[in-house]
């Protein structure tokens, strides 16, 4: 059957592979085909890794054929921000200084996604050393917003967000110091989350601001991001990261929980800031009304 990452979520891909509707290899080839078709316009990647993706897919297909239970994200394509080490790839941080730097090991966050069954399709573009918010400061090339190639995707994790938005991958990892996951997720129309500090290991991630950096996932849906967070926190605290902590996990199990009584902070000064586009303000106000209608309490904060 024809597979399109434009219409399939990560949850649907994993379920389809587990049920035998399609193989992980078919998914990998669909992702690589989408990259081949769209990457010239979007420029979301610094390195595409077909060998690694197809090898991971083959292992999953062999396991399923043998009747083994599959990991929760089996067969889901994954893009990895290029400040995260993955053995067998370069980790350049979008800088000429690290252009030929070969990853000597795999970051814990990447390893946990691979253990969950993800297929590594490539390393995503970023602002150089994560300094930037538009993915225009990459030393190699800018990344374009898939919805309008004349606009930026945000940053510094713009390549990761654009890869998901363009249907080239179902999940992506980014890092967020001061908005580098949340802002490109907003600009590209995907879901992104910066977890609480210490929930996800930073071991193997090139630092920007160590006391603020945190790795988090991009996906097309809240469910996909929750499943990714479950994978990132599986195994508990990482002994290689002194700031990591135990996480309760079970994020996907709570996506339909009632939000009545939860507090949502609103910063009035931001809503009246000079340069705030009217359509952005309207979208935020609409989201606040929706949250309030579902029982959340809006609280003004300074």
For range 92-100, the mean pLDDT:
98
Kindly state the DSSP code that residue 155 receives in the 8-state scheme: S
pLDDT in tens, 145-159: 999 999 999 999 999
CATH of domain 10-256: 3.90.1300.10
pLDDT at 247 > cutoff 90: no
Q: How many other C-beta atoms can be found within 10 angstroms of the C-beta atom of residue 38?
A: 17
Tell me the pLDDT band of 2, cut-offs 50, 70 and 90.
confident
pLDDT at 191 > cutoff 80: yes
Q: Which residue has 């926190």 as its token pair?
A: 233
Q: Which of 103, 156, 175, 201 is catalytic?
A: 156
Structure tokens at 135: 């993915």
Structure tokens at 94: 């979008």
pLDDT in tens, 113-134: 999 999 999 999 999 999 999 9
Active site annotation includes 81: yes
Q: Residue 281, exposed/middle/buried by CB under 10 A (0-12, 13-18, 19+)?
A: middle
How far apart CA 155 and CA 183 sit, in angstroms, is 7
SS3 content of the chain, % helix, strand, coil (to 5): 35, 15, 50
Q: How many other C-beta atoms can be found within 10 angstroms of the C-beta atom of residue 211?
A: 8
pLDDT for the residue numbered 269 = 94
How far apart CA 52 and CA 166 sit, in angstroms, is 21
Domain ranges of the chain: 10-256, 258-302
What percentage of residues in the chain have a pLDDT greater than 90?
95
Residue 135 backbone class (left: φ over 0; alpha: ψ -120 to 50; beta: rest): left
Structure tokens at 102: 């070969």
For range 167-182, the mean pLDDT:
97
Mean model confidence pLDDT for the chain: 96
Structure tokens at 216: 């988090």
Active site annotation includes 180: yes
Q: Which of 81, 137, 138, 244 is catalytic?
A: 81
pLDDT for the residue numbered 1 = 52
How far apart CA 21 and CA 62 sit, in angstroms, is 15
pLDDT in tens, 10-25: 999 999 999 999 999 9
Q: Which of 134, 180, 201, 244 is catalytic?
A: 180
Q: How many other C-beta atoms can be found within 10 angstroms of the C-beta atom of residue 70?
A: 17
Entry pTM = 0.95
Active site annotation includes 33: no
Quick one: which of 48, 44, 27 has its CA closest to 122? 48
């Amino acid at each position: 059957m024809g597979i399109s990452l434009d219409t399939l979520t990560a949850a649907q891909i994993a379920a389809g592979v587990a049920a035998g509707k399609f193989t992980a290899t078919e998914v990998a080839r669909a992702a690589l085909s989408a990259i081949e078709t769209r990457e010239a316009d979007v420029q979301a990647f610094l390195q595409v890794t077909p060998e690694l993706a197809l090898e991971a897919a083959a292992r999953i297909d062999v396991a399923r054929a043998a009747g083994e239970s599959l990991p929760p994200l089996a067969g889901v394509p994954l893009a990895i921000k290029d400040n995260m080490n993955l053995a067998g790839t370069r980790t350049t941080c979008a800088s000429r200084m690290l252009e030929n730097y070969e990853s000597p090991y795999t970051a814990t966050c990447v390893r946990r996604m691979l253990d969950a069954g993800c297929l590594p399709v490539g390393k995503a573009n970023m602002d150089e050393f994560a300094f930037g918010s538009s993915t225009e400061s990459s030393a190699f090339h800018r990344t374009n917003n898939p919805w309008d190639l004349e606009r930026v995707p945000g940053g510094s994790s713009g390549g990761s967000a654009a890869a998901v938005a363009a249907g080239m991958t179902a999940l992506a990892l980014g890092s967020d110091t001061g908005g580098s996951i949340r802002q490109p997720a907003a600009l590209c129309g995907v879901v992104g989350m910066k977890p609480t500090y210490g929930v996800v290991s930073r071991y193997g991630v090139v630092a920007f601001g160590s006391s603020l950096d945190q790795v988090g996932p991009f996906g097309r849906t809240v469910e996909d991001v929750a499943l990714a967070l479950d994978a990132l926190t599986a195994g508990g605290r990482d002994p290689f990261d002194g700031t990591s902590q135990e996480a309760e996990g079970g994020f996907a199990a709570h996506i339909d929980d009632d939000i009545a009584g939860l507090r949502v902070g609103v910063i009035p000064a931001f809503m009246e800031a000079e340069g705030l586009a009217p359509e952005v303000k309207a979208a935020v106000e609409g989201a606040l009304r929706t949250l309030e209608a579902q029982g959340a309490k809006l609280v003004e904060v300074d």
